[in-house]
């Protein structure tokens, strides 16, 4: 029982199921007395076996929550304390001012306890019966007067959230909310009547990138129901002849299929999407990304040029179109280093756009912000808002850490590996188990950013540096690098940071301990002021 309430005695009418399983369902009678002060709502109280064996269904009990145990007291309904005469007015006035507000039931109990020190000190009517007597309706922890429309209230809140979170207009938000609600109802069982008709009708109203991403956002992380959602939407795609609805739903199905690792389905949905709406921005990005991942660069160029320049302004702030255009322009790839570099660009693009990777970036931003970490020329590490996240997404070292130490490489292989050409798939499978390691620089060449590196164990390798270098690379110096094998026996380095020699042992131990991205970045930012940042020019240019 919360200390803020003092000693209160909520009452509750037992059910047969509660007695059988020795558990009390706390909403709505008990929970509001337990969670004052922002704590999580306790939905069930699990009792010692046999605690309720002496009771019968319909018995009314008082519940006392101690610090170490829970007491269940038998209460005689005929001896319940009568409510105060003004309690009805107090309850209805309070509820009327907060109809539909989340947490309304808990707030009501807190208000009544504060207004009346004697409220529920003695056994009185269960809260559910009191609310029914005063014609207060309830939906979860929300309360309203009489027959308040909780569904309409929740829908309005959902629409406001979608507008604020994803930048869509109200009509699009209404369409997205309707699709979410209809799909959720279908997952629950009987809500499939006219499901596909409603989904298709609403999908036809979605045009902006914000609305499209708002549509799939809750589904991509729903691992329990994601495959079922894909099955439902696939039927809608198959049934519609409306071009925009088909493009939007195929795009959504492609995103979900990608999260499930169903690459054959991803390809099919990409083709349907671009065929139905060849000038829709999100669809063009999706189809071009699939084409590039498959090595079909001419097809990617054709798809990208189909998007009029006037429509490029309507893309998501996190659009990958510029990166896709650069990748398409750099084709064809001839040498093994070109192929490996192109493959790494695909991994980087994936890490910058994949929802799971972005969640990892937000977590890093939050944790390093709390730690007041310093980064580059900023005084304080950016907060995990849009600007801070953009800073992280654009930083090659951060992206590399999320890809390698954060597991996004394995996630990329699982969800996108089936799209890659066979030689790239075989290559990235070899990279999947490669850790970032500490090396000593034996020699730095003046062509092709060539380095000779030696591990702490004495393994010597010739490496082509094909990414940003942090710090000044000097012969005899130590570097922390992600060096991956190429088919010919040489290696490619896609992330390299110089490490002061006195700190080499510390970083060697850190690298061997399978650090998280946050741990590695936190260690690297401690030496950032000493190493500085070098651009992507030749390694030879950084050698004194």
Positive or negative CA dihedral for 290, 436, 407, 262?
A: positive
The stretches in the chain having pLDDT less than 70 are 1-6, 35-41, 189-191, 309-318, 331-333, 365-390, 445-448, 526-544
With CA atoms as reference, report the closest residue to 293 among 465, 403, 413: 413
Domain end, chosen from 146, 175, 194, is at 146
pLDDT at residue 354, rounded to an integer: 84
Residues 356, 280 share a domain: no
* Most distant pair of Cα atoms in the chain: their distance: 95
**CA angle at 437 for the pair 435 and 439, rounded to the nearest 5°:** 155
**Closest to 471 measured CA to CA, from 539, 425, 517:** 539
Same domain, residue pair 399 and 323:
no
Q: Are residues 62 and 30 in the same domain?
A: yes
- Residues 292 and 377 both lie in one domain: no
Contacts of 203 (CB under 8 A, 6+ apart): 175, 179, 236, 240, 242, 244, 245, 248, 249
Q: 325 and 368: one domain?
A: no
Residue 43: domain span: 1-146
Q: For the CA atoms of 527, 449, 482, 361, what is the dihedral angle to 10 degrees?
A: 70
Q: Which residues contact 117 (CB under 8 A, 6 or more apart)?
A: 6
**Using DSSP, how many helices (H) and how many strands (E) does the chain show?**
22, 13
Same domain, 387 and 439: yes
Q: Is the CB of residue 54 less than 8 Å from the CB of residue 61?
A: no
Q: Are residues 301 and 346 in the same domain?
A: no
3-state per-residue secondary structure call for 269-320: HHHHHHHHCCCCHHHHHHHHHHHHHCCCHHHHHHHHHCCCHHHHHHCCCCCC
Q: Are 443 and 463 in contact (CB under 8 A)?
A: no
Q: Closest Cα to residue 168, out of 207, 135, 126, 195?
A: 207
Tally of domains in the chain: 3
Measured on CA atoms in the order 300, 315, 207, 348, is the torsion positive or negative?
positive
- E strand or H helix at 65: strand 60-65
Task: Identify whether residues 337 and 325 lie together within a single domain.
Answer: no
User: Are 296 and 272 in the same domain?
Assistant: yes
Q: CA–CA separation, 319 vs 331, rounded Å?
A: 21
Determine the 3-state secondary structure of 324 from DSSP.
helix
Q: Both 315 and 346 in a single domain? A: no
**Cβ atoms 293, 346 nearer than 8 A:** yes
CATH number of 502's domain? 2.40.50.140
466 within 8 A of 340, measured Cβ to Cβ: yes
Domain ends where: 146, 162, 188? 146
Q: What is the CATH number of the domain that holds 279?
A: 1.25.40.10
Cα gap 539→441, rounded to integer Å? 11
**341-361 CB burial, b ≥16 within 10 A, e <16:** bbbbbbbbbbbbbbebbbebb
* Co-location of 444 and 459 in the same domain: yes
* Domain final residue pick, 109, 130, 146: 146
In sign, the C-alpha dihedral spanning 259, 264, 265, 270 is positive
Instruction: Based on the fold, state whether residues 417 and 533 are members of the same structural domain.
Output: yes
List Cβ neighbours of 483 (8 Å cut-off, separation of 6 or more). 434, 437, 439, 453, 461, 463, 491, 492, 493
């Amino acid at each position: 029982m919360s200390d803020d309430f003092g000693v209160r005695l909520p009452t509750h009418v037992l059910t047969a199921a509660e007695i059988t399983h020795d558990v009390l369902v706390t909403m709505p009678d008990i929970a509001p007395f337990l969670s004052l002060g922002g704590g999580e709502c306790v939905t069930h109280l699990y009792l010692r076996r046999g605690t309720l064996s002496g009771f019968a269904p319909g018995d009314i009990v008082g519940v006392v929550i101690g610090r170490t145990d829970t007491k269940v007291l038998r209460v005689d309904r005929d001896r319940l304390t009568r409510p105060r005469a003004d309690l009805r007015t107090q309850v209805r006035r309070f509820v009327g001012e907060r109809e539909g507000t989340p947490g309304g039931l808990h707030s009501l109990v807190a208000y009544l306890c504060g207004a009346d020190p004697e409220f529920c000190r003695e056994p009185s009517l269960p809260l559910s019966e009191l609310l029914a007597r005063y014609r207060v309706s309830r939906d979860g922890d929300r309360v309203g007067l009489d027959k308040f429309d909780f569904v309409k209230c929740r829908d309005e809140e959902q629409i406001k959230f979608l507008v604020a979170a994803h930048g869509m207009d109200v009509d699009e938000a209404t369409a997205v909310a309707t699709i979410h609600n209809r799909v959720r109802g279908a997952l629950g069982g009987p809500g499939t009547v006219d499901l596909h008709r409603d989904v298709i009708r609403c999908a036809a109203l979605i045009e902006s990138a914000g609305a499209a991403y708002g549509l799939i956002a809750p589904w991509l992380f729903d691992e329990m129901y994601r495959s079922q959602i894909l099955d439902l939407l696939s039927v809608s795609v198959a049934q519609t002849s409306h071009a925009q609805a088909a493009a939007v739903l195929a795009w959504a199905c492609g995103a979900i299929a990608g999260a499930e690792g169903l690459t054959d389905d991803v390809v099919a949905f990409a083709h349907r999407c671009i065929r139905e709406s060849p000038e829709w921005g999100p669809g063009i990005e999706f189809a071009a990304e699939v084409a590039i991942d498959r090595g079909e660069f001419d097809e990617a160029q054709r798809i990208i040029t189909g998007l009029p320049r006037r429509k490029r302004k309507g893309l998501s702030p996190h659009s990958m179109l510029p990166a896709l255009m650069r990748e398409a322009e750099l084709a064809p790839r001839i040498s093994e280093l070109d192929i490996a570099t192109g493959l790494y660009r695909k991994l980087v693009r994936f890490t910058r756009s994949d929802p799971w990777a972005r969640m990892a970036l937000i977590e890093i931003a939050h944790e390093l912000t709390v730690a007041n970490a310093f980064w580059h020329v900023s005084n304080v590490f950016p907060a995990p808002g849009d600007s801070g996240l953009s800073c992280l997404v654009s930083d090659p070292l951060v992206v590399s850490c999320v890809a390698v130490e954060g597991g996004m490489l394995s996630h990329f292989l699982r969800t996108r590996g089936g799209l890659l050409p066979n030689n790239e798939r075989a290559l990235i499978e070899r990279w999947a188990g490669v850790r970032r390691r500490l090396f000593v620089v034996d020699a730095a060449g003046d062509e092709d950013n060539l380095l000779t590196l030696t591990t702490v164990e004495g393994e010597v390798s010739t490496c082509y540096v094909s990414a940003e270098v942090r710090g000044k690379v000097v012969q005899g110096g130590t570097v922390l690098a992600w060096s991956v094998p190429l088919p010919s026996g040489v290696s490619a380095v896609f992330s390299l940071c110089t490490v002061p020699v006195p700190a080499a042992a510390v970083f060697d131990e850190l690298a061997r301990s399978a650090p998280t991205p946050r741990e590695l970045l936190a260690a690297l930012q401690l030496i950032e002021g000493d190493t500085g940042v070098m651009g992507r020019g030749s390694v030879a240019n950084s050698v004194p």
